[in-house]
Chain A
Amino acid sequence: MLSRIGESLYWMTRNLERVDGTARILDINVVYMLEADEDATEEMQWQPLLNIVGADEIYPIRYPDKRVTVQRVIHLLTQGRDNPGSLYNSLRLARENARVVRDRISNAMWEAINEFWLSADKHLKTTLQPWRAAEFYAFVHREVATFFGIAQSTMMRGEAYGFTVLGSLQERADMTARILDVRYHLLLPDVSMVGSPLDYYQWGALLKSLSGFESYRREYHGGIRPIEVVEFVVLNPDFPRSLTYCLEGMERAVKRIGYVEQGAVPQALEALRGHLTGVTATDILDRGLHEYLDRFLELLADLTTALQSDYFEAHLGDEA
């Protein structure tokens, strides 16, 4: 497969997964805003989102008075043209990449993403109002699910499929780590409180941001305990948004793609595997969750660099 095509397949699904993730954290926050705690300010509720998606730097540039409001955060993260990570821009990029690889994906996949883009673009021509936001995000989830569902049922399980899976799982792992990191520290500034059932709604929101609330309830029966949340979200191999699950999927995807001789990808995957294997939730908390997740994100970024050098950059060496 052409290097350029592999790269576009990878970024197509990575951007689309980002669209979905962004919609989900916004959606959950919109819902919780409806019956907010009396002592929670608007800023306390919405600032974390900026940190999760890495928009905390662009925000003060866009809004010099730095006041954090629902309206602004929703706007910046959903349709901000000047925010490279906004849902709008991620979707535009996903669709542009799809256009590049149009001959490599099924017609049905192309139609799904093209239709999605056309109607989202139309929708976002006007400002999305907070009370209409939930409806829009529900539409986004449906469209993304449609796309991935069609991909599942129409794509050959070869190299192209490998790159699409890799893109989406890597983005998902990235988003999971960020959500856990930011939320956890806001919820639990005091380490001594680890292990006790806490604010049911806030922790529920964290799990819901990962579509894991119901699964968690079935796995653990003792209320919501931070240590169990960490175990579930980092280590559970069956929870489709856990770091461990994502890594396993990425390993399988790279096998489908095939290794490059003396490439950097296997090493990058091993480093991630080493980071997740042989640790318990207690170990992670003892070491410091923030440090642990930070290291994970670094290793994930190393994988991107390795993919770049192994597959996406031209090898002008010998004929394969």
Chain B
Amino acid sequence: MLRQFQSSGAVQAQANGAGPAMAYHEFYGDNFRPRDHYLPMWEHIQTTGQQMLGTKAHEAHLALHTEGVTFTVYANEDEGIERVWPFDILPRIITAPEWTMLEAGLKQRIRALNLFLKDLYHGQRILKDGVVPPELIYRGKDFRREIMDIDPPHDIYTHISGVDLIRDEEGRYLVLEDNLRTPSGVSYMIENRMVERRILPEFFARYKVRRVEHYPALLLQALRFLAPRGPDNATIVLLTPGIFNSAYFEHTFLAKEMGVELAEGRDLVCKNDKVYLKTTHGLRRVDVIYRRVDDDFLDPLVFRSDSALGVAGVIDAWRAGNVALVNAPGSGIADDKAVYAYVPEIIRYYLGESPILQNVPTYQMTDHQDRAYVLDNMERMVIKAVAESGGYGMLMGPSSTASQRAEFAKKIADNPRNYIAQPVVQLSRHICYLDGELESRHLDLRPFIIYGDGIQVVPGGLTRVALTKGSLVVNSSQGGGSKDTWVLAD
């Protein structure tokens, strides 16, 4: 007898969606029924048929390819490979009440962290009061003694932050990392939206989605606000390490959207504590530098003397108040992964409020009890180097080999301050359209926060997806992709 096959996409997705019961599913609620806010989209897919998604996915890939929306992966020391940004066409949707809570939580966190930075580089009240252990700060790689007592314009240190959020097994949002140095990804947030709108206008017709494309305008406003000679006619530059940097696409994107100069270190020169641009018609004074160059490379006179990416003298110009640096040097100590564990305390200390967003539980390797526990349970832990980012310098316990664990145990013993550990959180999952099938994959969320004349959070963010089945690593350098992120207006 002829056997019948059910070809409905929903059934397929359900089968693949089962997986470990632990992770929260963004898309499916009870009994594999799509959650309410996904129903309009789901109905549309059911009506038009799943094949439609294949065509759309192909169109999206072509669009990103032609536009040159790429990132660079470092395969070995000196050579990077340019790859097309991997994009999943099914949007991730955040409801209005959820967003209201997230926005309040992020603003609170950023306000507190900026007060914390000001305090660390001035009176250090918080250390004297014993809320944060002083040795944690002094032994942190990103604490910059060179900038003690400098007053950045308006006491703002982190003008641009990208805070990584995950959802635990119950669906609660947790902060995984505060990225306060030179967080990247915002251009992809915008590109994702532009592609999504072009490819799937029919989805948008069924929702009220809040806009994200004004981010560069907000950023420009914040940068102007910082100009020492006033916002009118301020010369603003975006300082890039150059075309070989993995985020170079983003640098050009932002410079262009804001209409500011995209400069490399060699395009700038300091004279008499002022910074100038080398132009085709002589030198032009610079007021604000949005730098996408790390502290270490920013000024060879102050930090690493072998840096060719920075501008000699720029820290002196900053100290003299003649130029604004965005983000302020030294901000990295506040997103150090060991300091991270204290952020809830930091919020209570400076604001007298209880934290709206919770942290992932974090074990300090400098603490003997914590360390013993972690070393006994390495298979269940994520171990991270405190000053690394981008998924580098990390041990994923569950997928690690015995020799990798031994290697990390030794590293921890050698330099306990350099590591922290967290229990593996099953990041929430979402359906993705991959090779013609609906599959569930883990993801996170990076919203972007701008601090200028007030703190603003753009309603959306970069949703990063671990495209490898079962993987919890979402970094684009390690096989991650992304989705358009929708915040609903009501």
Which residue numbers of A lie inside 8 Å of B, CB to CB? 1-6, 96, 99-100, 102-104, 107, 110-111, 114-115, 118, 159, 257-258, 260, 310-312, 314-320
Contacts and interface: CB of A to CB of B under 8 A. Distances in A.
B252 A319 contact: no
B282 interface: yes
25 contacts: A1-B279, A2-B267, A2-B277, A2-B279, A3-B267, A4-B278, A5-B262, A6-B280, A99-B68, A99-B252, A100-B243, A102-B252, A102-B256, A103-B252, A103-B256, A104-B256, A111-B66, A114-B67, A114-B68, A118-B66, A257-B280, A258-B281, A311-B280, A319-B283, A319-B285
Contact of B278 (A3, A100, A104): A3
Interface in B253-286: 253, 255-256, 261-264, 266-267, 269, 276-285
A2 B263 contact: yes
B285 A118 contact: no
B350 to A, nearest CB: 38
A316 B256 CA distance: 27
A218 B95 CA distance: 70
Contact of B283 (A6, A100, A104, A320): A320
A110 B280 contact: no
Interface string B337-373: 0000000000000000000000000000000000000
A102 B283 CA distance: 22
Contacts of A111: 66-68
A107 B284 contact: no
A110 B67 CA distance: 8
B458 to A, nearest CB: 21
Given A4-B267, A258-B281, A96 B243 contact: yes
A207 B459 CA distance: 60
Interface residues of B, number: 27
Interface of B: 65-68, 243, 248, 252-253, 255-256, 261-264, 266-267, 269, 276-285
A103 B255 contact: yes
Q: Interface on chain A toward B: helix, strand, loop, or mixed SS?
A: helix
B261 A2 contact: yes
B284 A319 contact: yes
B282 A319 contact: yes
Contact of B279 (A3, A96, A99, A318): A3
Which of B65, B67, B68, B255 neighbours the largest number of chain A CB atoms within 10 Å of its CB?
Answer: B68
**B261, B269, B278, B279: residue with the most chain A Cβ atoms closer than 10 Å:** B279
Contacts of B282: 260, 315, 317-320
Contacts of A159: 280
Contacts of B255: 103
A310 B263 CA distance: 19
Contacts of B266: 4
